[in-house]
């Protein structure tokens, strides 16, 4: 399994997704908006996962097979705590790019 790029359809996430695809990498694009994820995933031919930070149990399940999360969703003060908790619970490496 590849890394999970959360907030993939935002400005920074989109840049990272495009660069990853250009380099032959296959991150899993993630966020809470299925339509935006599908559009980006189809454009880059990358897999997607819809999940919300407000659903901790579901978020943890989405991270169980992911070695690392690149967190691009902001604002940091609101989005980081639930993702950090889920990563700690699942042993997933965490890198925040917005805070």
Average pLDDT over residues 12-41: 96
Please report the pLDDT score of residue 99 as a whole number.
62
**Secondary structure of the chain as H, E, C letters:** CCCEEECCCCHHHHHHHHHHHHCCCCCEEEECCHHHHHHHHHHHCCCEEECCCCCHHHHHHHHCCCCEEEECCCCHHHHHHHHHHHHHHHCCEEEECCC
pLDDT tens by residue, 85-95:
999 999 999 99
Please report the pLDDT score of residue 34 as a whole number.
97
User: What CA–CA distance (Å, rounded) separates 77 from 21?
Assistant: 29
Mean per-residue pLDDT over the chain, rounded: 95
Nearest Cα neighbor of 79 from 68, 71, 90 is 71
4-96, CATH topology level = Rossmann fold (3.40.50)
Sheet holding 48-50, edge to edge: 48-50, 28-31, 4-6, 68-71, 93-96
| Partners of 55 in beta bridges | none
């Amino acid at each position: 399994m590849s890394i999970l790029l959360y907030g993939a359809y935002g400005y920074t996430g989109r840049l990272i997704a495009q660069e990853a695809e250009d380099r032959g990498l296959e991150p899993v694009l993630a966020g809470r908006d299925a339509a935006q994820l599908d559009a980006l995933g189809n454009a880059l031919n990358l897999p997607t996962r819809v999940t919300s930070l407000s659903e901790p149990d579901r978020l943890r399940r989405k991270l169980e097979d992911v070695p690392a999360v690149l967190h691009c969703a902001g604002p940091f003060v609101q989005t980081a705590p639930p993702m950090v908790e889920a990563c700690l619970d699942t042993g997933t490496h965490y890198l925040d790019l917005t805070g």
